[in-house]
Amino acid sequence: MIRLSDLSQEQLADCARRIGAALHGIAPAPVVPPPPYAEIPIHRRPSLKPNDERLFAEAWREYVERNYYHAAVDVQKMIAYGESIGMPAADVVESLHALEQNHYIGDLRYYLGSGNVPNHFRITGFVLETYLRAYRADAYKKA
């Protein structure tokens, strides 16, 4: 954070010039780099926003690559994944609700005392083919 009172008159004038130039299109406006998760490829699944799809792909990747069979995916793992790519926990939970409403994942389950954050959700076979075609096309063709 920069305090205006800490700037000299020359620095203030320079800032004012740069802001004015950006507002009037003389100089490009400063650009904030995109968050890390924006670099993760998506395949534009119907009715999903990009972050929803990133979590969909990660949930299925985690499910397919595990060494045991259990249809539940831990929401805390999804939150940790989201945070590792720059998504706040609240955005992860919002995306999980969108995935549930669009039938990309099974029911979100809550435990007593978990508040607004679900505990786990089910992976269903209904969209397995969707995941395999989009993210594991070579393996899908072989199968």
Give residue limits of the domains in the chain. Answer: 1-31, 36-142
What tokens were used for 43?
């395949």
Least confident of 30-34, 108-112, 113-117: 30-34
Asked whether the predicted pLDDT for residue 137 surpasses 90, the reply is no
Task: Please give the average per-residue pLDDT across 92-103, as a whole number.
Answer: 92
Q: What kind of architecture, by CATH, is found in domain 36-142?
A: Orthogonal Bundle (1.10)
Asked whether the predicted pLDDT for residue 19 surpasses 60, the reply is yes
pLDDT score recorded for residue 40 = 66
Distance between CA atoms of residues 107 and 126, nearest Å? 13
Cα 11 vs. chain centroid, distance in angstroms?
Answer: 38
Q: How confident is the model at residue 84 (pLDDT cuts 50, 70, 90)?
A: very high
In the predicted model, what is the mean pLDDT of the chain? 82
pTM: 0.66
What tokens were used for 49?
């926003």
